[in-house]
């Protein structure tokens, strides 16, 4: 069983075509798609309910909301032997899913990277800033992951259950820095593969780069102060 975890907030224009594309791409695998919605005012959750597909499991979160907490909620409500976490806006391209599913049967975790040869982002400025920050993260924590910010990964259930969710799933994308940090401390085997960033179908993403990177910087410093790998 493959469990796809999609955290959402105001993704009405993206989530239905994304769910349908994911289902099409992995139709040959036993799978479920879990969408943990943070009570989006745009009707995202109701649209998923109205879609009424057996493989789709929408969850409405009205308390203790947040991006990372939505991912944790999805994981805790999943049934899969393999868990895959994706963004809900086509930033993470579904076409990589069959490769990830097949590869994670030979590794503990398979992670998409924009900074392995062949990977890229559409914005050169964002690509450069993210690349520099990932170097900072590796040097600071002693880790080896080339892209600790992307958050597109497949992992075996028994592997992710080795880590303490309370130490990881809070905040925004910085949860992924913490997740990879603690996974590496458990000496897991990880395959990194090149991924090209996708394009949103509708809406706009988070454009406050300064605020986001400040949050990520603080997350790295806190990890370093606790314990290096």
**For 163-184, how does the pLDDT look when each residue is reduced to its tens digit (9 = 90+)?**
999 999 999 999 999 999 999 9
Question: Which residues are CB-contacts of 53 (< 8 A; sequence separation ≥ 6)?
Answer: 19, 23
pLDDT at 206 over 90: no
CA distance 205 to 25: 24
> What sign results for the dihedral spanned by CA atoms 144, 147, 149, 151?
negative
Per-residue model confidence (pLDDT) at position 207? 57
- Helix, coil or strand: residue 62: coil
Q: What is the CATH number of domain 2-226?
A: 3.90.550.10
Mean pLDDT value of segment 117-124: 87
Give the CA distances from residue 75 to residues 172, 173, 188, in Å, rounded to whole numbers and listed in that order: 16, 16, 19
Per-residue model confidence (pLDDT) at position 203? 66
pTM over 0.85: yes
Is 15:8 a contact under the CB 8 Å cutoff? yes
- Helix, coil or strand: residue 191: strand
Mean pLDDT value of segment 80-109: 97
- Helix, coil or strand: residue 122: coil
The domains of the chain are located at: 2-226
pLDDT at 200 over 70: yes
> In which region does residue 131 sit, left (phi positive, over 0), alpha (psi from -120 to 50) or beta (all else)?
alpha
Per-residue model confidence (pLDDT) at position 129? 87
CA distance 130 to 113: 11
Mean pLDDT value of segment 136-142: 92
Per-residue model confidence (pLDDT) at position 46? 95
Per-residue model confidence (pLDDT) at position 180? 96
pLDDT at 131 over 80: yes
The token pair at 181 is: 């940090």
> What sign results for the dihedral spanned by CA atoms 181, 183, 189, 193?
negative
Q: How confident is the model at residue 228 (pLDDT cuts 50, 70, 90)?
A: low
């Amino acid at each position: 069983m493959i469990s796809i975890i999609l955290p959402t907030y105001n993704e009405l224009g993206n989530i239905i075509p994304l769910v349908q594309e994911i289902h099409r791409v992995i139709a040959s695998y036993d799978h479920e798609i879990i969408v943990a919605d943070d009570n989006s005012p745009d009707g995202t959750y109701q649209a998923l309910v109205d879609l009424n597909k057996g493989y789709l499991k929408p969850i409405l979160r009205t308390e203790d909301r947040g991006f990372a907490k939505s991912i944790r909620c999805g994981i805790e409500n999943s049934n899969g032997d393999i868990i895959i976490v994706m963004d809900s806006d086509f930033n993470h391209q579904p076409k990589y899913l069959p490769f990830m599913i097949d590869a994670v049967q030979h590794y503990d975790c398979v992670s998409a990277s924009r900074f392995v040869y062949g990977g890229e982002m559409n914005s050169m400025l964002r690509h450069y800033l993210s690349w520099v920050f990932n170097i900072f993260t590796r040097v600071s924590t002693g880790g080896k992951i080339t892209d600790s910010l992307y958050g597109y990964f497949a992992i075996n259930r028994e592997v992710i259950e080795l880590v303490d969710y309370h130490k990881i799933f809070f905040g925004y994308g910085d949860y992924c820095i913490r997740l990879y940090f603690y996974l590496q401390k458990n000496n897991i085997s990880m395959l990194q593969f090149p991924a090209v960033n996708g394009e949103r179908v509708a809406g706009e993403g988070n454009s406050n780069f300064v605020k986001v990177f400040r949050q990520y910087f603080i997350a790295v410093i806190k990890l370093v102060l606790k314990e290096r790998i």
